[in-house]
Amino acid sequence: MRFKAGSRPGGRTVVIGAAVLVWLGALVVGAVPAWQKALRQHREVRQVEAKLDDLDRWSVAGLWLERTLVPRQEAVTPVWDRLFPSERRCEALFLDLARVADESGVTKFELHELRSDEMSAEAPGVADPEPFAALGGYRVRARFEGDFAGVAGSLNRLGRLERAVAVHDLEIKPAKGAVQVDLELDVYVASTSES
C-alpha cells in the first residue's frame, strides 16, 4: 500500500493536535496575564467603590451634623474656642507643655516654635470649604529625657491638653540610663492671625 504525502492516517491527527496545543499555549500565555490584570482592576474598582460609599455616608452624616449643631451652637462655641483659639496663645501653650513635663518628671526639657526653614513639611493649616471654619496653625518642637514611665506619662498627658494639637513627628531613642524624646506637635488655631 502506498500513501501520498500528507495523507498518512495519523498525520492529520498530529496536525490537529499540534494546532490545539499552539492554540492552548497562546491562550495561556495571552489570557492568564489579561485575567490577572482584570482581577487586579476589579479589586481596585471595589476599593474605589468602597471609598465612595464611605464618602457618601460621611456627606450624609455631615448634613445631619450641621443641622443638629445649629441649635447647640451655644454649647459648642466655647469648646471650639478653647480647642481652636482665635489667637495663637503660644505662651499659654508653652506653660501647659512645661507643666506636663514637670508633672511627668522628665528632665532636660527644651521647647521652641519651629521656623519654616526648620520644618520637614509645610506648617499645619487646614482650609475647610466653609470660610468660617478655616484653620491655621504652627509647629513646636519639644525635647526631653526621662525613664520609660515618665516619658509615657508625658505623652499621655498631651492628650489632656485643652488645645487641638496633633503629633507630627515622634522619635524616641535610648540615652545613658534614660530615654530621649524628640517631639514635633502641630498646634491648630481658628485663624492664621499672628499674636
pLDDT digits (tens, 9 = 90+) for 169-191: 888 888 888 888 898 988 888 86
pTM of the model: 0.52
Q: Where are the chain's structural domains?
A: 1-71, 83-189
The pLDDT value recorded for residue 141 is 92
The pLDDT value recorded for residue 28 is 76
| CA dist., res. 162 & res. 17, Å (int) | 79
Alpha helices in 70-171 (DSSP H): 73-83, 90-104, 148-158
Second-level CATH architecture of 83-189: 2-Layer Sandwich (3.30)
Residue 133: CB partners within 8 Å, gap ≥ 6? none
pLDDT tens column, 90-108: 888 888 888 888 888 888 8
pLDDT tens column, 62-80: 667 777 777 777 877 888 8
The pLDDT value recorded for residue 187 is 87
